[in-house]
A and B are shown apart, each in its own frame.
Chain A
Amino acid sequence: MAEPGFIITEEGVDINKAADYEKVVDSRNRIVEVFWEGQIDFTTNIGVPDGYKLLILREHGLGYIPAFEFLWDDSVLDPAFSSNVFVESFSANNKYIYLNYLRVGTTATMRIKGYLRIYAVPITTEYTAPASFTTAKDYNANKRFGIKALRPAEAIKTMSDDQITDYNLHTTAKALNIHKHGLAPVAATPFPQVTIAHNLGYLPTYFCYQFFTEASGAYQNPLNGLDGIQPVVARSAATVNTLSFGGVQSALAGSLAYLILKDPVRLAS
Chain B
Amino acid sequence: MADNRGIIVARSDQDVDSDVVDFDSRRSHLQIDLARNPKHFDILTLHPTALSVDDINMYREETLLSILHGLKVTPRVLTYFYAVSAPGGAPFATAGSYFKNWFPMVASGAYQDVIIYTITSTTFTVKHTIEKFIVDGTTRTSIADQYNIQLKYEILSNEGSSDVTVFDP
Q: How far is the CA of A233 from the CA of B161 in the complex (A)?
A: 21
Residues of A near B33 (CB, < 8 A) are 164, 170, 172-173
Q: Does B31 contact A (CB under 8 A)?
A: yes
Given contacts A115-B161, A175-B31, A203-B152, whether A69 and B43 have CB atoms under 8 Å apart is no
- The residue that A168 contacts in the complex, of B12, B29, B99, B163, with Cβ under 8 A, is B29
Residues of B near A261 (CB, < 8 A) are 30
What range describes how many residues of A lie at the interface? 35 or more
What range describes how many residues of B lie at the interface? 35 or more
8 Å CB interface, B7-27 against A: 7, 9-10, 12, 19-27
Question: Is A155 within 8 A of B1, CB to CB?
Answer: yes
Q: Does B159 contact A (CB under 8 A)?
A: yes
Given contacts A27-B9, A28-B22, A79-B167, whether A34 and B27 have CB atoms under 8 Å apart is yes
Question: Is B150 within 8 A of A238, CB to CB?
Answer: no
Q: Does A110 contact B (CB under 8 A)?
A: no
Residues of A near B73 (CB, < 8 A) are 165
Question: Is A6 within 8 A of B7, CB to CB?
Answer: yes
Given contacts A72-B165, A172-B34, A175-B31, whether A5 and B23 have CB atoms under 8 Å apart is yes
8 Å CB interface, B60-82 against A: 71-73, 75-76, 78, 80, 82
| Closest beta carbon of chain B to A126's beta carbon, Å | 14
Residues of A near B55 (CB, < 8 A) are none
Question: Is B29 within 8 A of A37, CB to CB?
Answer: no
| Closest beta carbon of chain B to A93's beta carbon, Å | 16
Closest to A70 in B: B167
- Mark contacts of A163-183 with chain B using CB atoms, 8 A cut-off: 1 yes-contact digit, 0 otherwise: 111011110111110000000
Closest to A155 in B: B2
Q: Does B124 contact A (CB under 8 A)?
A: no
Q: Does A205 contact B (CB under 8 A)?
A: yes
- The residue that A31 contacts in the complex, of B19, B23, B164, B166, with Cβ under 8 A, is B23
Question: Is A173 within 8 A of B164, CB to CB?
Answer: no
Closest to B11 in A: A30
- The residue that A236 contacts in the complex, of B31, B97, B150, B158, with Cβ under 8 A, is B97
Q: Does B88 contact A (CB under 8 A)?
A: no
Question: Is A34 within 8 A of B28, CB to CB?
Answer: yes
Q: Does B160 contact A (CB under 8 A)?
A: yes
Residues of A within 8 A of B (CB): 3-6, 25, 27-28, 30-35, 37, 39, 62-64, 69-75, 79-80, 89-90, 114-115, 117, 120, 122, 139, 141, 143, 149-152, 154-155, 163-165, 167-170, 172-176, 203, 205-208, 231-239, 243, 261, 263-265, 267-269
Known A72-B166, A173-B34; further 7 A-B contacts with Cβ < 8 A: A70-B167, A71-B76, A73-B162, A73-B164, A163-B71, A173-B157, A269-B152
